[in-house]
Amino acid sequence: MFTDVVNFLNGLLWGQILVPLLLIAGVWFTIRLKAIQFRHFGHMFSVMRHSRNTDGHGISSFQALCTSLAARVGTGNLMGVAVAISLGGPGAIFWMWMIALVGMATAFAESTLGQLYKEENSSGNYRGGPAFYMLKGLKSPAMALIFSVCLFIGYGMVFSAPQAFSIAEALDYSYGVDPYITGVIITILAGIIVMGGMKKIARFSEMVVPFMGVAYFLVALWVILTSLPEIPGVFKQIIYSAFGLQEAGAGMLGVAMMQGIKRGLYSNEAGMGSVPHAAAAATPYPPHPASQGYVQMSGVFFDTIILCTCTAMIILLSGIELGQTFGIQLTQQALANQVGSWGSDFIALAIFFFGFTSMVANYAYAENSLPFLKMNNKIGRAIFLAVFLGMIFYGSVATLGEVLGLADLAMALMTVINVIAIMFLSKHLVTLAKDYNEHIDKGDIPRFVASDEQVKDMNLTAGIWSEENTRLPK
């Protein structure tokens, strides 16, 4: 009965509400921000040149990007792409690309707002996220509370389960490790790291994510280079399948679109309201809220356009018949077909690191819900930690259907609430983007010092965007 309810709600949210809402939001922000993801594509990467600067109150922009990528780059890139192709055909990849391209503008919007409405906690560290800009920017405590509940359920409970499931499945497939043993080990390891707080999670992500991301990209690039004559045929297959132009494919158009958008969102998280938590924790350089928008916008590009495409190429170039194998095993078998038996072991290693970093980043995100749920105390944090770690173990021994169904529902609820909020705050986004661009046009380093009128109009935390807090380093 519970599964039936989850499936009904998923069908309603994904089939009639979320997909149109995401597309409308992506187009809306692309227009309002004057196609910022295309117009400033190069600048998006140049912002990263000084991304290791910080002031001690927040993590660096690079650490914020690695933390957000730690959450993004996980089962969505390896298992999620395999699921999308298995259920929606090769055309699902095209729709993953589309939702990423328009989603880059949405990612800019939510991350800029996350940075704008950040505040210092009792430890002197920055924190923020959608609940903060809903409470302050929209002056809606109810909306902030509802989002925090969804955040707690999603990132505090459900989203780590698919990561744990993929790790356990991959290790079982490659080495015969019992999922219960895997569950115990990764639960203990996760507990050790997350108890160190946001800065420890950021440092861990900064070490692991770039290394594994580059390694995975190089392996995929080798597969592509050794199969160059087949590449045009693969892209033709993707396009034909995306629009139902292949034989007996017309009925697959809706399925391809649905799977591509669903798995694309699960992978890049644009609009979900997760990444603003990492963006808010940063001390940005340039010291302007929009700079974190650019940094996190690049995360969507790296995640979906680069890494998800790598997985798609590995699968579609392998010659494996689709529909026979599902989940992470499809990706493992596909790479093994092309590079030998070590390919399966490499995917098992990749999913372990990608999935594990996602789990610890999930904790950092969910932690921001505690003040709004009146759980920001010793007892509340102990309950949160127990639930979080318990769901990791549960995911290791659960079934794929149970895990993905709950993840899809939590993701949909968070996204609907967050997208509505950032669309209502579009006015402030346009103001910030215009201010940033005016600095660039003058050849200055962008710097946002909020006037008394702006602090009042936007309902900002006093002092956060003061002259003192936005000084340029000498």
In the block, tokens 């660039």 appear at: 440
Tokens for 168? Answer: 């356990």
What amino acid is encoded at 80 in this protein? G
Instruction: Enter the pTM of the model.
Output: 0.84
Q: Domain count of the chain?
A: 1
Q: Is residue 448 part of a domain?
A: yes
Q: Is residue 473 part of a domain?
A: no
Tokens for 331? Answer: 């990706």
Asked if 388 contacts 157 with a C-beta cutoff of 8 angstroms, the reply is: yes
Q: Is residue 112 part of a domain?
A: yes
What domain range includes position 68?
A: 2-457
Q: Is residue 287 part of a domain?
A: yes
What amino acid is encoded at 358 in this protein? S
Asked if 313 contacts 234 with a C-beta cutoff of 8 angstroms, the reply is: yes
Q: Is residue 474 part of a domain?
A: no
Handedness of CA 134, 137, 138, 141 (dihedral sign): positive
Q: Is residue 470 part of a domain?
A: no
Asked if 273 contacts 133 with a C-beta cutoff of 8 angstroms, the reply is: no
Q: Tell me if residue 59 falls in helix, strand or coil.
A: strand
Q: Is residue 46 part of a domain?
A: yes
Q: Tell me if residue 260 falls in helix, strand or coil.
A: helix
In the beta sheet, which residues pair with residue 119? Answer: 127
What amino acid is encoded at 155 in this protein? Y
**How many of the other CB atoms lie within 10 Å of CB of 350?**
24
**How much is the CA Rg of the chain, to the nearest whole Å?**
21
Pairing outcome for strands 126-127 and 119-120: antiparallel
Q: How far apart are CA 313 and CA 275, in angstroms?
A: 27
Asked if 83 contacts 399 with a C-beta cutoff of 8 angstroms, the reply is: no
CATH number, position 225: 1.20.1740.10
Q: Is residue 253 part of a domain?
A: yes
Residue-level pLDDT, tens digit, the chain, 474 residues: 677 887 888 888 877 888 788 888 888 999 999 999 998 988 888 887 766 666 655 677 777 777 777 666 666 676 778 777 877 788 888 888 888 898 899 999 999 999 999 988 777 778 889 999 999 999 999 999 999 988 888 888 888 887 888 788 878 877 888 989 999 999 998 888 888 766 677 777 777 777 877 888 888 888 889 888 888 888 888 888 888 765 444 456 667 777 777 777 767 778 888 889 888 888 888 889 999 899 888 888 888 888 888 888 888 888 777 766 666 678 777 888 888 778 878 877 887 887 888 888 888 888 888 889 999 888 999 999 999 999 899 888 876 566 667 777 877 888 899 999 999 999 999 999 999 989 888 888 888 888 889 889 999 988 888 887 777 665
